[in-house]
Amino acid sequence: MRRFAKSILLAAVAGSLVAGPVHAQGQRDGYKFLEAVKKREGTEVTQFLQEPGSVLVNTRDITSGETALHIVTERRDPVWLRFLLSKGANPNIADKKGTTPLQLAAQLGFVEGVEILADRGAAVDVTNATGETPLISAIHTRNPEMVRILIAKGANADRADNSGRTARDYASLMGSRSNMLEEIERAESERGETADAYGPS
pLDDT tens, residue by residue, 134-164 = 999 999 999 999 999 999 999 999 999 999 9
Cβ–Cβ under 8 Å, residues 57 and 49: yes
Residue 74 has, within 13 A of its CA and on its CB side, a CA count of 11
Alpha-carbon span 59 to 67, nearest angstrom: 6
Buried b / exposed e across 126-139, counting CB within 10 Å, b at 16+?
Answer: bbbeeebbbbbbbb
Cβ–Cβ under 8 Å, residues 131 and 166: no
DSSP assignment string, 133-173: -HHHHHHHTT-HHHHHHHHHTT--TT---TTS--HHHHHHH
**Domains of the chain: residue spans and CATH:** 1-97 (1.25.40.20), 124-195 (1.25.40.20)
> Averaged over 174-194, what is the pLDDT?
87
Q: With bands split at pLDDT 50, 70 and 90, how would you rate the model's confidence at 23?
A: low
CA-wise closest residue to 37 among 64, 59, 22: 59
pLDDT at residue number 155: 97
Provide, rounded to the nearest whole percent, the portion of the chain with pLDDT above 90: 75
Q: How far is CA 138 from CA 54, 82, 126, 172, in A?
A: 35, 23, 13, 14
**Average pLDDT of the chain, as a whole number:** 87
Residue 176 above 80 pLDDT?
A: no
Cβ–Cβ under 8 Å, residues 97 and 123: no
Q: What does the DSSP 8-state code read for residue 51?
A: S
Q: What is the pTM of this model?
A: 0.80
Identify the three-state secondary structure at position 115: helix
Q: Minimum mean pLDDT among 35-39, 99-103, 177-181, 196-200: which range? A: 196-200
In 41-194, where do the E strands start and end?
none
